[in-house]
Amino acid sequence: MVLALEFPPINEILRWRDLFPTFNKVALIAVAASLISIVIFLLAARKDGLKAPQGVRNLAETIVEFIEEQIIMPTMGRHGMGWTPFLLSLFLFIYLCNLPGIIPILYMPATARIAIPMFLALLVWVIFIGVGFKHQGPAYIKNSLFPPGVPGPLYILVAPIEFISTFLVRPFSLTVRLFANLLAGHILLVTFSLLTEELVQGDSLVLKPVGILPFFMLMFITAFEVLVGFLQAYIFTILAAVYIGGAAHPEH
Amino acid sequence: MEALALLAQEADKAAAAASSAGFAYGLAAIGPGIGIGYLVGKSVEAMARQPEAAGMVRTTMFLGIAFTEALALIGFVVFILIGL
């Protein structure tokens, strides 16, 4: 190993002892994320809606407006507004699960364990297929496997490709995108903090000042992870919106 | 002697796994790297030409990045699977 750097096995940086049986820190973060988002909106709903928004209500309104203007309007249009509550809770939950990756003491994005992204992706998968059947009936399968405007014989090729890309690859890529992004960020943070520690606490006096370099990199990656956490929540939500919108209106 | 040869073989296997994991990720990063660069470059061009369409272009750009990036991330997952 370079510089005798002992990188811990992957289980060591992703697993904790259970707080009590079947409940560990990742579960704690997930529960906290849902509780925090519920509390924000309960507090905001109790404020007087007729006055100018302040404090918590201001925050809640900003988030709702972000979901409506940035996620629903460009993908589903005006008649997709009914999906605001679902997409809002999806976005907030993922964002609040990503955020602990850079919060000291916690230092673990709950979405870096595959269970949470996988469950959310399966939820979106079930919902968009359900929406497709609700709006188009059994013709949904036909519409999604045989897109219009393709010359007849090519359907032998197109139909299997459409089937794989719509019903198999979508949930898989939703899962892997969120999971791998957060896991990669977490591993990067571990790598650079280990490197800093090894260099600063090492025996060589020459190498001690060099430790400042990985430390700067660590700060840069931490700032980058703030962006990644937000961006991945945004992308997951917008893809969910695109899938649901596409299932509801095949002609677009 | 036999045990030593076996040990050497195992060490070779581990080294091969490590380097092939590195290759897997490196190869998987080439295509998406080019793709994302091209995609964002074109989007910036579009936004500069037509600033009033910037919002729409940005949304579509993020969608495109998400799809392109998925390939690199699958490479990363394979990297972890082989490397361990």
* pLDDT average, residue stretch A203-218: 87
Quote the domain boundaries for residue B43. 36-84
Tokens 């961006």 — which residue? A231
Cβ within 8 Å of A, B 1-30: none
Share of chain A above pLDDT 70, in %: 97
**For residues B40-50, average pLDDT:** 95
Q: Which residues of A touch B73 (CB under 8 A)?
A: 176-177, 180-181, 184
Confidence of residue B84 (pLDDT cuts 50, 70, 90): low
Report the pLDDT averaged over residues A103-108. Answer: 86
Identify the pLDDT of residue A129: 94
CA A2 – CA A118 distance, rounded (Å): 35
State the alpha helices, DSSP H only, in chain A. 10-14, 25-46, 55-66, 73-75, 84-98, 115-136, 139-145, 155-163, 170-201, 212-248
The boundaries of the domain holding residue A66 are 2-248
Residues A177, B63: C-beta atoms closer than 8 Å: no
Q: What is the mean pLDDT of chain A?
A: 88
CA-wise closest residue to A114 among A51, A177, A67 = A177
Q: What is the pLDDT of residue A203?
A: 80
Considering only CB atoms, which chain B residues are within 8 Å of A181? 73
pLDDT averaged over chain B?
A: 85
Judge whether residue A3 has pLDDT over 70: no
Place of tokens 């090894």: A198
* Minimal C-alpha gap between A171 and chain B (Å): 12
Work out how many domains chain B is built from and give that number: 1
pLDDT class of A98 with cuts at 50, 70, 90: very high
Query: Which 8-state DSSP code applies to residue A154?
Result: G
Backbone angles phi, psi at A76, to 5 degrees: -110, -15
The pLDDT tens digits for A126-156 are: 999 999 999 998 888 888 888 888 888 888 8
CATH number at residue B63: 1.20.20.10
Neighboring chain B residues of A12 at a CB cutoff of 8 Å: none
Confirm if A111 and A98 have CB atoms less than 8 A apart.
yes
Separation between Cα atoms, residue A73 and residue A66, nearest integer Å: 10
Q: pLDDT at position A1, please?
A: 40
For the stretch A29-68, pLDDT in tens is: 999 999 999 999 999 988 877 788 888 888 999 999 999 9
Q: Is pLDDT above 60 for A90?
A: yes
Reported confidence tier of residue A105, pLDDT bands at 50, 70, 90: confident
How many domains in chain A? 1
Name the residue in chain B with its Cα closest to that of A70. B59
Q: Is residue B25 situated within a structural domain?
A: no
Distance CA A249, CA A247 (A): 6
Q: Is A211 in contact with A200 (CB distance < 8 Å)?
A: yes
User: Which of A71, A165, A177 to mutate to probe the B interface, most B CBs <10 Å?
Assistant: A177
Say whether residue B76 is in contact with chain A using an 8 A CB cutoff. yes
How buried is A181 (Cβ within 10 angstroms: 0-12 exposed, 13-18 middle, 19+ buried)? Answer: buried
For residue A119, pLDDT over 80 is answered with yes
Q: Which residues contact A160 (CB under 8 A, 6 or more apart)?
A: none
pLDDT tens track for A149-195:
888 888 888 889 989 988 999 999 999 999 999 998 998 898 888 88
Contact A177 B73 (CB under 8 A): yes
For range A64-74, the mean pLDDT: 91
Q: What is the pLDDT of residue A147?
A: 82
Give the number of A-B residue pairs with CB atoms closer than 8 Å. Answer: 40
Q: Is the pLDDT at A5 greater than 70, yes or no? A: no
Tell me the chain A residues in contact with residue B66 when contact means C-beta distances shorter than 8 Å: 177, 235, 239
Torsion of CA A190, A196, A198, A200, to 10 degrees: -160
Q: Is the pLDDT of residue A92 over 70?
A: yes
Does the pLDDT value for residue B28 go beyond 50? yes
Q: Rounded CA gap, A217 and A226, in Å?
A: 14
Chosen from B40, B77, B78 to mutate, greatest number of chain A CBs within 10 A: B77
Q: Is B62's CB within 8 Å of A74's CB? A: no
Q: Quick check: B9 and B71 in contact, CB under 8 A? A: no
Backbone angles phi, psi at A187, to 5 degrees: -65, -40
Find, among A250, A237, A246, A244, the residue nearest to A87 by Cα: A237
- Sorted by sequence, the CB contacts under 8 Å of residue B17 that are 6+ apart come out as B82, B83
B11 part of a folded domain: no
User: Shortest CA distance to A236 belongs to which of A62, A137, A96, A136?
Assistant: A96
The model's confidence at residue A97, banded by pLDDT at 50, 70 and 90, is: very high
In a domain, B70, yes or no: yes
Q: Determine, for residues A239 and B63 on separate chains, whether the beta-carbon distance falls below 8 Å.
A: yes
Do A61 and A53 meet the contact criterion of CB atoms below 8 Å apart? yes
> Does the pLDDT at position A2 exceed 60?
no
Q: What residues of chain A lie within 8 A of the CB of B62, using their CB?
A: 231, 234-235, 238
Q: Is residue B1 part of a domain?
A: no
